[in-house]
A = this chain, B = another copy of it.
Amino acid sequence: MVARTPEEFRAKQQIDVRTFHEVIGIETRERRVRVVDRKTQNEAWEAYDELLMATGAVPLRPSVPGADASGIYGVHTLESGIRLRKVLDAQQPRSAVIVGGGYIGLEMAEAFLLRGMRVSLVDKAPQVMGTLDQDMARHVARALTDRGVHLYLDEALEAFAVRNGRVHAVITSQRTLETDLVLLGMGVAPNTQLAKEAGIPLGERGAVRVDRRMATEVEGVWAAGDCAESFHRLTGQPFYVALGTVANRHGRVAGTNMAGGDARFSGVVGTAVTRICSLEVARTGLQTRELEGLGRPFVSQTIESHTRAAYFPGSGTIHVKMLADAATGVVLGAQIVGQEGAAKRIDVMATAISAELTARQVSELDLAYAPPFSPLWDPLIIAARLLAKKIQ
């Protein structure tokens, strides 16, 4: 079925794409999959030489009363996004409660605000954006409340109040929030039902366990994307992150190897970026909670500066937090929250972390300056310089 060498691949070229066909079972010893045609419901076995698991992730749903009522939406596929937009256009709801203060929850908060809706956001954690340290997440929370989002943090979802099969309120540990619509943004879990049933070993957070070639522990079976685990360059340990960039990098590695090449996944350092209204948010490396979990002594520095020369039109605030190993000064993490032009600076830190630069080395980088782009001392340089002073 699958070409074993690049030559065979080139000879074939043709890819047999079959829509409405679903794999419902895998026999890894026989190297065959059970496929059902969703139009005819006919089932058949199909042999493979190499098999790629790319089953993605599934959104987490709360197991609370009323969770299956109508009026509760998620945005985990293109189709689910289109469906929700149609609902918004047709029903013109005036309010929404968002459950979960991660990337999806916050981006959807913006989308609802732009439609003039009243937006409430509930999260059981004491902060939004758990991938940031709490002091940095506070800037995001303030931006949301400034724009009119009602934030209810440290409040667990307890139930959905349902009337005629339709949600009309969200009940938390502390209040009842009447609403026209509920949006779930509780994160995702790797979709590994098939793998589990086939006895393909799972690892980090239930994702398919792979080596650096994206091979599973079963001969002839590979995994890539949101269903597969990654590894973190800073810890060398398995790591799970459901991001398009990582999925694409997985895919290149798995595809190269399945076609007879030799590629290795270089791991992730935990880089992520988003924009909520005009606020840019980015992070890379390990955050305080992760470093504490590893028991790794570290120092950190937080600064406030400008995205451009302070006098330049469009200059805005930027907050930078940088974390480094307490003994060696090697940079371990960075977080940025700021106005336009702030976030993509995180790439410098992702590069510095990959290259194992110290805070001092970062403070001595030859970064670009011109008034439309940066203050004379780039905010990263300022943060790194102060951080370097904390290394004994």
Contact of A369 among B243, B267, B345 (CB under 8 A): B243
Chain B neighbourhood of A233, CB < 8 A: 366
Q: Among A18-26, A221-229, A322-330, A357-365, which stretch is in contact with chain B?
A: A357-365
CB–CB A366/B350 < 8 A: yes
Interface residues of A in 226-260 (CB under 8 A from B): 233, 243-246, 248-249
Q: Among A91-99, A171-179, A292-300, A372-380, which stretch is in contact with chain B?
A: A372-380
Chain B neighbourhood of A248, CB < 8 A: 376-377
Chain B neighbourhood of A366, CB < 8 A: 233, 245-246, 267-271, 284, 350, 354
CB–CB A368/B346 < 8 A: yes
Q: Among A28-36, A152-160, A203-211, A272-280, which stretch is in contact with chain B?
A: A272-280
From A281, which residue of chain B is reached at the shortest CB distance? Answer: B370
CB–CB B350/A368 < 8 A: yes
Interface 0/1 of A194-219, CB less than 8 Å to B: 00000000000000000000000000
Report the minimal beta-carbon distance from A94 to chain B, rounded to whole angstroms: 26
A355 is an interface residue with CB less than 8 A from chain B: yes
Tell me, in angstroms, the Cα distance from A206 to B243 when the chains sit together: 52
Interface centre among A245, A268, A284, A368 (most CB of B within 10 A): A368
A344 is an interface residue with CB less than 8 A from chain B: yes
Number of chain A residues whose Cβ lies closer than 8 Å to a Cβ of chain B:
49
CB–CB A369/B266 < 8 A: no
A351 is an interface residue with CB less than 8 A from chain B: yes
**Known A274-B370, A275-B372, A372-B275; contact A365-B377, beta-carbon cutoff 8 A:** no
From A233, which residue of chain B is reached at the shortest CB distance? Answer: B366
Tell me, in angstroms, the Cα distance from A290 to B272 when the chains sit together: 36
A348 is an interface residue with CB less than 8 A from chain B: yes
Chain B neighbourhood of A284, CB < 8 A: 366, 368
CB–CB A347/B345 < 8 A: yes
CB–CB A275/B373 < 8 A: yes
CB–CB A367/B275 < 8 A: no
CB–CB B350/A367 < 8 A: yes
A352 is an interface residue with CB less than 8 A from chain B: yes
A100 is an interface residue with CB less than 8 A from chain B: no
Tell me, in angstroms, the Cα distance from A270 to B366 when the chains sit together: 7
Tell me, in angstroms, the Cα distance from A269 to B369 when the chains sit together: 13
**Known A351-B355, A373-B275; contact A344-B368, beta-carbon cutoff 8 A:** yes
Chain B neighbourhood of A271, CB < 8 A: 366-368
Report the minimal beta-carbon distance from A288 to chain B, rounded to whole angstroms: 20
CB–CB B351/A365 < 8 A: yes
A128 is an interface residue with CB less than 8 A from chain B: no
Tell me, in angstroms, the Cα distance from A344 to B372 when the chains sit together: 10
From A346, which residue of chain B is reached at the shortest CB distance? Answer: B368
CB–CB B364/A357 < 8 A: no
Interface 0/1 of A149-185, CB less than 8 Å to B: 0000000000000000000000000000000000000
- 8 A-B pairs besides A346-B368, A347-B378 with CB distance below 8 A are A233-B366, A249-B364, A267-B366, A273-B369, A284-B366, A284-B368, A344-B344, A347-B365
Interchain residue pairs with CB less than 8 A apart (27): A243-B369, A244-B376, A245-B367, A245-B377, A249-B364, A266-B361, A270-B366, A272-B368, A273-B369, A282-B368, A284-B368, A341-B344, A343-B368, A343-B373, A344-B344, A344-B345, A344-B373, A347-B348, A347-B367, A350-B368, A351-B351, A351-B352, A351-B355, A351-B365, A351-B367, A352-B355, A355-B361
